[in-house]
Amino acid sequence: MTLKPSLFPREFTFKHYEFIFFTRYPSKDFPQNVVNSLIVGILASAFANFLAVIGAYGLSRYPFPGSDIFSRMLLIIYVLPGIPLLLPIYSLLARMRLTDNLIGLILVYVAINTPFAVWFLKSFFQAIPVELEEAAKVDGASSFRAFVSITLPMSLPGIVTTFMYVLVTTWGEYSLAQIIITSDWKKTVPLGLATYMTDQYIEWGPLLAATTLVVVPIIMLFLPFTKQFISGLSSGALKD
């Protein structure tokens, strides 16, 4: 290679950004990847949070024998599935005819992230005094009404934070996505990026342009919630 490395770019150019937006062929269709990732991320995060709110509320308000151990185990369950479980998860999906299907991917992401979301949200619900709900019930509100009008708004920062967290992690998830999704037009962003990397000759320009476009929104989306995230994580971890 005749190019000499230099610490600062010799010239500034937007041609790599142009390339990833306008040069579209099936195996490298970056805008399509972004759309897929957004659909998968938002739906997975919404479902996971919906189930997690119900679960975490139940654990914090109606403890049952063993519920303590159960909620501590949820975090382990979140970190346990890795490559070992990839093949069996894939064959389960294949039996349900959900491979190479974004719904299948969403289902797996919901299943993986819900235990973490429950564990995380439980500490938010526990921080809200039960007396507030009881006061509402004395005033004639049903349990559900008391939950919707008091507990839910008060735990909203926690819910928004878990939503962002699940969105950000599913947005970047690679190993499950690359096994489940095979069609080019269903690929998510990490898979799109990986297609650049497995080429014999890596085109660094477009790859780094695409990487920048992936990283900037994540940081912009997540940064406002870091404080919430840190406090939620800490209270969960410290109580655990």
State which of positions 104-123 bind another protein (CB under 8 A): 108, 110-112, 114-115, 118
CB of residue 215 to another protein, shortest distance in Å: 6
Residues numbered 37-76 forming contacts with another protein, rule: CB under 8 A: 51-52, 54-55, 57-59, 61-65, 67-70, 72-74, 76
Q: What is the DSSP string of 110-139?
A: HHHHHHHHHHHHHHHHHHS-HHHHHHHHHT
Residues numbered 150-169 forming contacts with another protein, rule: CB under 8 A: 168-169
The amino acid present at 98, given as its one-letter code, is: L
**Residue 86 binding another protein, by CB under 8 A:** yes
CA distance 60 to 109: 24
CB of residue 202 to another protein, shortest distance in Å: 8
Angle subtended at Cα 56 by Cα 230 and Cα 89, rounded to the nearest 5 degrees: 90
**Residue 84 binding another protein, by CB under 8 A:** yes
CB of residue 208 to another protein, shortest distance in Å: 7
CB nearer to another protein: pick between 86 and 141: 86
Residues numbered 190-219 forming contacts with another protein, rule: CB under 8 A: 190, 193-194, 197, 202, 204, 207-208, 211, 214-215, 218-219
CB of residue 20 to another protein, shortest distance in Å: 13
CB distance 163 to 45 below 8 Å? yes
Give the burial class of 218: count Cβ atoms within 10 A of its Cβ; 0-12 exposed, 13-18 middle, 19 or more buried: middle
Which of 30, 147, 163, 171 binds another protein (CB under 8 A)? It is 171
Burial 48-62 (b: 16+ CB within 10 A, else e): bbebbbebbbebbee
Phi, psi of 86 (to 5 degrees): -60, -50
CB nearer to another protein: pick between 102 and 225: 225
CB of residue 22 to another protein, shortest distance in Å: 21
